[in-house]
Structure 1
Amino acid sequence: MKKIVIVNPGATSTKIAYFEDTDLVWKDEVIYTPDQLKDYAKIYDQFEIRYQDIQVLLENHGISQDLDAVVGRGGLIGPVKAGAIKVDAELIDHLKNHPVLEHASNLGAGLAAAIRDHFGNESCQALIYDPVTVDSMMPIARYTGLKEIQRKSIGHHLNMRAVARRLASDNGLDYDKANLIIVHIGGGATASAHTQGDIVDFVSDDEIMFSAERSGGLPVKEVLKLAKELGVQELSKKVRAEAGLQSLCGTKDLREIEDRVKQGDQEADEVIQAFALQLAKCIATLAVSLKGKVDYIALTGGMAHYDYLCQLIEERVNFIAPLKIYAGEFEAIALAKGGFRVITGIEKASSLEEAMKK
């Protein structure tokens, strides 16, 4: 039996879970208030407080020095291939000092190493799995109409690949041979086209669909007018933190909007229909990237709990392929299964250099 701990740092929390093989034994969470974190200028400045709290939590759960693997959520490394990456000093330094963006997930590797050093057995491995910058997009999908700008693959890869594997398994398919479209709709929204085990095209909420607080694609001429009026910094804040459902409904809480729809609010209902339309357009775009050969489509993330939204999307995309719902997120089990595959020899972990070469 293999003993595995996963660590998933988020903006105001650190999720911890303990698995025996791939069976969840317990999960827990350390939650921080904004006041507790306000004095930390950079994400990595939070490392000590986060690790100390994790150490206490693991000791309280009776974890001793016999772990076989610790798997952290991968941060914004830069373009890397999918799968497991070994945690070493080079990876930690990269995420601490040279990340693509500041994000709590950048702490995952360092926390995994610290847990390994204190709680692991002699052969315990520290890993990250499917970081948010996994990139296996086909070259032609990277192009835009400006030479200076390429499309990027940054998003919910860990959860989307976990759902893709589960979707394939649930329907008697080999993930490495299936053609799948996975859409994550939560606080942010991203979508991916999978073929032969690779995400060959990827769409974020900077592009087609809006999300809880991001604008999605916008008419460029109108954006230029707004940029002139607001300035770049204010415009960036507007399209990335004050847009989407937040702008259209005055809230990014889908449950509140759902209640309005149930009470007959026609404007809220129209926004949800528009949201569904944009998500369906995104799915259709990715179907083209798969040349129309799609086995299944899946919706995942917190917003996939909303039956009415899922129904509206299904009505528009069921001509492409059957739609399945995997509401919520599956990051903990994805990390645990990834670690299990590595320590049992099913899968090989890459070094940072190997992962970045793709």
Structure 2
Amino acid sequence: MKKSAWLPAVIAPVVVAGAVAAPVIANAAADPIAGKDPSAAAVLASVASSRDAQYSGQLAQTSDLGLPELPSGSGGSSLEGDASDVLDLLTASHTARVYVDGVDRQRFQLTQQLAEQDVVRNGSDVWTWDSKERKAVHVTLPAGSDVPQAGTTTPADAAERAIAAITPSTRVSDPTAVRVAGHAAWQVTLTPRSSDTLVGTVRLAVDQQTGLPLRVTVTAAGQQDPAFQVGFTSLDYGAPAARLFDFTPPSGAEVSTQDLSERGGHHGGTGHDGATHRGAEPAVTGSGWDTVVEFPAGTAGRPTADTDATALLDQLTKSVDGGRAVQTSLVSVYLTDDGRVLAGAVPVSALVAAAK
């Protein structure tokens, strides 16, 4: 990872994953949901049954986090490469094609202006491809590993993270009937009971027939319009063509490989450049919607003399007690003077307090 990417790389996973990894509901029973008036527990439990689903479709992801406008990586800007790419993903709308044949065969295609990023999984083999950089990475996964997406997240990813973080600190609505991408769905709204979180609501729309999450919408506290949303705009069930899960690097591409097969599943992870992220485990304080994650000094690759990184830091953050911080509509990030990074769906003041 380039040093100039360090701050957006911390914000991105918190927004698209952590912000929706909120408490949901306990002991959901796996009851049918296609009938009339299912319980919220049954709707949430049905998501587990969709992991083996076969489908293809198009996703739309939008983010309106209140981040300041920054120059893009084009046109001679000093903000080039990974940093501006991630910021673009956080502040603009994007579409992606997704092909899924169960848990072991998946393809994600994120289309950007004059470029495309792909992640293709076929069993233990994963290929990532960046057409702009003309770089391909081949990773051999250990058993039970998840696959990173090409710069986006899916409704299933977001919904499963939410359902996995079950505590009593959330008010869960009765399901209401909605339609997403032409499919009948049940929508459940999760509302934090905490007044200290930046999250207002999380809405999960789940296919009435299959249990597949079709859309996840997160609003910030006190706002009506979505701060983050990912959902299908088109969706067709059925096994995608097998050829879609075969990948051969184009002629002249730069190819690198990494064999992770001897490592335990879910330990570490692979980024878009194939690098493995290891190191000390982050510390977690608080609970539910007020959870704060603290990354040890050095984890995020804090820049030193990089002028591009310094410019990005100055534009994104403000000076606070003991460091610098940025607060978006959904998540805050605090960079301490001693090199630690704290993040959570809480105000900056809560991060400063947690760091002491």
Q: Which TM-score band applies after superposition, normalised by the shorter structure? A: under 0.3
Query: Of Structure 1 and Structure 2, which has the larger fraction of its residues in strand?
Result: 2
Higher RCO structure (Cα 8 Å, ≥6 apart)? 2
Query: Of Structure 1 and Structure 2, which has the larger fraction of its residues in helix?
Result: 1
TM-score by length of 2: 0.24
